[in-house]
Amino acid sequence: MVAVPGLQQRIGARWKAPGAAASPFLVNWAKPRWQPRGPSPALGARRPPDIGAPLIGGCIRPSTMAEPLQKIIANRYGGRNLPVTLVLPDGGRVPLSSNAEIEILARTWRGLKALAAPAMGALARAYVRNDIDFTGSARRALSIAEGMVGEISHGSESLGARLKQWQHQLRSNRKNIQHHYDVSNAFYGMWLDSRLVYSCAYFRADADTLDDAQVAKLDHICRKLRLASGERFLDIGCGWGALLFHAAERYGVEANGITLSQNQFEYVRGEIAARGLEGRVRVELRDYLDLPENALYDKVASVGMFEHVGVRRFPKYFGKISRILKPGGFVLNHGITHNPLGASGLGSGIGDFVEEYVFPGGELTHVATVIEAMAAQGLEVVDGEALREHYAKTLWRWCERLEAAADAARNEVGEERYRVWRIYLAGSAHAFERGWLSLWQLLAGKPLPDGRLRHPLTRDYMYARSGT
């Protein structure tokens, strides 16, 4: 057997936690064990596999990975009876229970590292990089992954995530928005509903289709705002225009939308012409901060947009809304919030992953902070509704539709981006189901100079009556 100088130290250094001694198991695992095929070459003629590179068959005996892994698995996962079999890069199999439902495949050394000391964000990153893979649905895999990680606490994000967030918030809002939304309209069309509504749907019953639930959400917003014919209505972050078209066609408002996504802007402009809505619906490629304050609106909606704003910018955001809203007018702010009070980030590396791959510059907070920020700008909250369960259901529908269109999605955006969105949608759905995140619709008004704010005494007006 030929010893490879430096390998033991190399692996031990890569696998130990910062400031901690290398695991005795990992040191044992790192002992030189390869056996070259055929005659032994000179020492310099063969190199050990690179950390992070796929292990090529023949370099390591199939038993040498599975045997020592049993020790770390017994320590890490013993007694949990997780319904999964780990498949090692050399083909070795390590069952974690006798009734495995899925397989998790470690394709590289990096993948093995993620599985040896799992965190939700690290597992997601390893999946995106193809260091690990799994069989079955993302929904089942997420549930099992949480069991592998163990208890997850949510509080502040890591220093690295906060630094990236700060860097992303320094650049223009347009760059952050385009990173997320200007992927491909065709890609979004594979898993969104027919109207391309990219926000929480509103399910009246479990059997509702995604299309029906999204129409119900659009109408729920319009009813809450009590839109009326002839009113000037603004949709901040209008997406692909579904709310604009619904409000104009069904409620007779003059609908104005703004977006920072070039793809969305061009799509909405095309739809306006196709529907013959010129003069009734208008879209602009504009930042909310650049809205002129000499053109006031009766009603304003912001749906799934304020997550991009950042808590420190709430005064500018809600201040702008207050200044462009007519006295006696109303705004509906629909957005994601943290559920734990005081939390500024999701734990187990989840926030780091989302900041890096999905929502650069995004920031969430508790709904109490949002209400306080609205009140500070003269907006009086008159109604709040939590739609956490609705968003979990929406996200699982999106994830399932994306998985069903996997081949087409890969062809459209590539393997890595497909993986980012698959694991992001599944992880978000899991976070809403577990109560880590929530979704709030806050209805607020700008009181008249004498302090009055006219609105119905009950919430009956928000719900459609039978036959209407």
Bridge partner residues of 338 (DSSP): 366, 437
Give residue for tokens 């462009």: 324
In this structure, is residue 383 part of a structural domain? yes
With b for 16 or more beta-carbon neighbours within 10 A and e for fewer, the 65-87 pattern comes to bbebbeebbeebbeeeebbbbbb
pLDDT at res. 344: 72
Q: Which of 149, 180, 207 marks a domain boundary?
A: 149
On whether both 210 and 139 belong to a single domain, the answer is: no
Query: What is the pLDDT averaged over residues 11-15?
Result: 38
| Within-domain flag for 198 | yes
Q: Which of 69-73, 233-237, 267-271, 455-459 has the lowest mean pLDDT?
A: 69-73
Question: In this structure, what CATH number is given to the domain that contains residue 332?
Answer: 3.40.50.150
Residue at 30 is within a domain: yes
Per the listing, tokens 């950042």 go with 310
Last residue in a domain, options 91, 116, 149: 149
pLDDT > 70? residue 422? yes
Q: 21 and 165: one domain?
A: no
Q: Are residues 106 and 182 in the same domain?
A: no
Which structural domain, as residue segments, surrounds residue 292? 159-462
Closest alpha carbon to 259 in 313, 162, 185: 185
- Asked if residue 173 and residue 201 are part of one domain, the reply reads yes
131 and 203, same domain (yes or no): no
Q: What pLDDT is stored for residue 74 in this prediction?
A: 63
Does residue 319 have a pLDDT over 70?
yes
Give 152-190 pLDDT, tens digit per residue: 554 455 545 444 444 444 444 556 555 455 578 999 999
Report the chain's mean pLDDT, rounded to a whole number: 82
Position 465 pLDDT exceeds 50: yes
Four-CA torsion 142, 145, 151, 152, nearest 10 degrees? -50
145 and 272 part of one domain: no
The pLDDT assigned to 152 comes to 59
With respect to residue 31, please indicate whether it lies within any of the assigned structural domains: yes
Which is more confident, 285 or 94?
Answer: 285
Q: What is the pTM of this model?
A: 0.81
pLDDT, tens digit, for every residue of 41-60?
A: 333 333 333 333 443 333 33
Q: Decide which of 88, 116, 149 is a domain's last residue.
A: 149
pLDDT band at 353 (very low <50, low <70, confident <90, very high): confident
Q: pLDDT (tens digit, 9 = 90+) per residue, 21-41?
A: 433 333 333 333 333 333 333
Residues 297, 427: one domain?
Answer: yes
In the beta sheet, which residues pair with residue 380? 445
If asked whether residues 399 and 428 sit together in one domain, one would say yes
Does residue 120 register a pLDDT over 60?
yes
> In the prediction, which pLDDT does 38 show?
39
Q: Could you tell me if residue 391 is inside a domain?
A: yes
What are the pLDDT digits (tens) for 174-232? 565 554 555 789 999 999 999 999 999 999 999 999 999 999 999 999 999 999 999 99
Q: What is the DSSP pairing of strand 297-303 with strand 281-285?
A: unpaired
The pLDDT value given to residue 9: 40
Mean pLDDT of 364-379: 97
Residue 1 lies in a domain: no
Is the same domain home to 114 and 163?
Answer: no
To which residue do tokens 């459209």 refer? 412
In the chain, the number of structural domains is 2
Q: In CATH, what number is assigned to the domain containing residue 21?
A: 3.30.1050
Q: Give the full edge-to-edge strand order of the sheet including 93-95.
A: 93-95, 84-87, 102-106, 132-134
Residue 163 domain flag: yes
pLDDT greater than 90 at residue 112: no
Is the same domain home to 341 and 214? yes
Sheet holding 281-285, edge to edge: 281-285, 254-259, 232-236, 297-303, 325-338, 437-445, 380-386
User: Burial level of 202, CB count in 10 A (0-12/13-18/19+)?
Assistant: buried
Mean pLDDT for the stretch of residues 396-421: 96
User: Which pLDDT belongs to residue 144?
Assistant: 92
Query: What's residue 173's pLDDT?
Result: 57
Question: 173 and 128: one domain?
Answer: no
Q: Is the same domain home to 252 and 387?
A: yes
In this structure, the strands spanning 102-106 and 84-87 are parallel
Cβ proximity of 293 and 326 under 8 Å: no
Beta pairing class for 325-338 and 254-259: unpaired
Report whether pLDDT(20) > 60: no
| pLDDT at position 286 | 96
What sign for the dihedral angle of Cα 8, 11, 13, 17?
A: negative
Rg of the Cα atoms in the chain:
26
Asked, for residue 367, whether it belongs to a domain, the answer is: yes
